[in-house]
Structure 1
């Protein structure tokens, strides 16, 4: 019986993640348990167990006497997470370089051709997909379950922030160049070079996001100023 309950709340936890990552439960939103029970056709028990799982993952926060809310990722969170994930993925690249077989290199070669093709045609969603597949392949090649687990946990938090770093000016070609440097080091069996190149790649992602945040802020300021001017003139 307990196995059934476990699988039930795991299932509900995945449905909640899908609602969050799909934008149906947006950052900062109140989690209405009654509504969700109806929507997901489940009772309170598996829903509450699922909410505990997502709270432990950092996707949900529980406020005493107020209930559960979808977490919001601040600029400070990003400043704290990116150096950590850069270290972890750098270590993955190091271990993957030591472990990779010729077949692994061939798989990465195909993925990098997809990456180049997507970048050449400015296909951002396809670029994201190939980029994700490359990072996943490198994690799998490293074969370190502990690294994979911690990176997976941090990735969920970053996914919550709906990061669009490739929209920063010039970022697409810059990201492609960084990937080619990582791949070159991996092919050359230069573990330390792959580690450094991967850390640089993640650090540059954070800088691209910082640039986007500044641009968005200045756009909002200009728009507010125009509204004020418009208000004064009417």
Structure 2
């Protein structure tokens, strides 16, 4: 079967096949989301389309399409005549979003303990050990990627479609802050300890224990993020 193609706007050579265009679209969205999560594009940053196009090796059309996706996820703000910027959450938004996420994580844990398979548990344990290796190597991006995979697998194991959709939507908005919450060594090590307890509760199929651990885990991240925001505000005031 041949892939469908579209004509370029000037009626010349065909544009990329639709399948290739979709792959490019997904790749651009993934790269931009990673830039935001890992702090290369910080909250409040105005996005320079020319620089981003050069960095990603793309034209402005796929970039703008990707920005619309990120805007729908609440990661980017599109303003008429001002372009795009990375969304900055207010203190109340941070507090309320993490509180909601703590409940979603806790409910995921309860259901996962009832429904997780042996194979799924084995995959989570493998991710946990890989995550620990990243901690030893001080590899925060690698650690965070596996960390998020673990939380995501627990949510998947809950086998609740509505919970899954809500979880993914809310989690995208705070991924960058979850990443930053581990930048201090003591916070990072505390998170590692929590994950060891998470695996133990999953193995025991102890839904109440896992729900309590996950709820506390997310609320501690909320407190760490709010403290970082306060520290940054104080530093900015002192520098002024």
Aligned-residue Cα RMSD (Å) equals 3.4
Q: CA deviation at 1:85?
A: 1.1
1:98 to 108, 111, 114: 114
Q: Does the residue aligned with 1:166 lie in a helix, a strand or coil?
A: coil
Superposed, 1:208-227 pairs within 5 Å as 208-218=224-234, 224=239
- Alpha-carbon distance in structure 1 between the residues aligned to 2:157 and 2:75: 28
Which residue number corresponds to residue 180 of structure 2?
Answer: 164
1:4 to 6, 18, 29: 18
Which residue number corresponds to residue 139 of structure 1?
Answer: 155
Q: CA deviation at 1:26?
A: 3.8
C-alpha offsets along residues 69-103 of structure 1, whole Å, 9 cap, x if unaligned? Answer: 22123333211210111111111111111112233
Residue range with higher mean Cα deviation, 9-18 or 69-78: 9-18
Which residue number corresponds to residue 183 of structure 1?
Answer: 199
5+ long unaligned stretches in structure 1: 228-234
Q: CA deviation at 1:145?
A: 3.7
CA contact (8 A) 1:168 1:209 kept: no
CA contact (8 A) 2:102 2:214 kept: yes
Which residue number corresponds to residue 9 of structure 2?
Answer: none
Q: Scaled by the length of structure 2, what TM-score is found?
A: 0.72
Q: Does the residue aligned with 1:167 lie in a helix, a strand or coil?
A: coil
5+ long unaligned stretches in structure 2: 7-16
Residue 57 in structure 1 maps to residue 69 in structure 2: no
Which residue number corresponds to residue 86 of structure 1?
Answer: 102
